[in-house]
Amino acid sequence: MMALILDLDRTLVDLQSYTDYDAAWAEVAELIDPASAGCGPVTGWSSSTRACMGVIATVHDPERWMELSSVIEGHERAAIGRSRAMPHVVEFLAATADRLRAVVTLLPETVADEVLAAHGLDIEVVVGRDPHIRPKPSGAGLKEALRRLGPSGGAETMVGDSTWDALAAADAGVDFIGVHAPPAEFAALDPPVPTCATLLEVLAVLDHRQNE
């Protein structure tokens, strides 16, 4: 059975566009030396969004990590009510209900659960940001999701909107399909990754692969 790993933000639901990461980063920058924080791989996110996620990816002390994550989480949770489901997400999830599915996200698991619930989207396995699981672009979260899902027979695909997702998939040895991203988002990746404009196009690619 095919295992489907899904990014959340801007793949299934757009929370990022409504989260004040500028304010979040301003608060984080008061707690750390901004020059010491890595920003992670190049992506089309705003500079403050990338900085916040870079801190999550590079700070290793669990207590410090929790402090910084909590600051960012407050702004993410505040945006849930304004978030928007991505086009065709309901049809996409209905059509993939027979597959093993998990969400792997840079959002905290509690926020991810609330976002999914707010839009009536049901995905049982969610791996969110956690001080004990290296976040994307590491593949650790994907490997944890696959562990929770159980045997998939080796047919494993991730769907996401950013280079961080693509690199995480490569690190975990999982196929990748890009969606909802401008062409430049994945242009620097080698080898190139397949991309789709919509979740319906992703569904067509998945169906083709399953029927090969």
Over 70: is that where the pLDDT of 42 sits?
Answer: yes
Nearest-Å Rg of the Cα atoms of the chain is 16
Percentage of residues in the chain with pLDDT exceeding 90? 86
| pLDDT at site 40 | 87
Domains in the chain and their CATH numbers? 3-14+84-211 (3.40.50.1000), 16-80 (no CATH)
Quick check: pTM over 0.75? yes
| pLDDT at site 6 | 98
| pLDDT at site 74 | 98
Query: Mean per-residue pLDDT for 35-41?
Result: 80
* Confidence label for 146 from pLDDT (cuts 50, 70 and 90): very high
| pLDDT at site 60 | 87
Over 80: is that where the pLDDT of 37 sits?
Answer: no
**Least confident segment among 19-23, 172-176, 180-184:** 180-184
| pLDDT at site 128 | 98
For 188-197, what is each residue's pLDDT tens digit? 999 999 999 9
* Confidence label for 49 from pLDDT (cuts 50, 70 and 90): very high
- In degrees, rounded to 5, the angle at the alpha carbon of residue 162 between the alpha carbons of residues 157 and 166 is 40
Q: What one-character-per-residue DSSP string does 46-108 give?
A: -HHHHHHHHHHHH---HHHHHHHHHHHHHHHHHTGGG-EEPTTHHHHHHHTTTSEEEEEEEEE
| pLDDT at site 212 | 67
For 62-113, what is each residue's pLDDT tens digit? 999 999 999 999 999 999 999 999 999 999 999 999 999 999 999 999 999 9
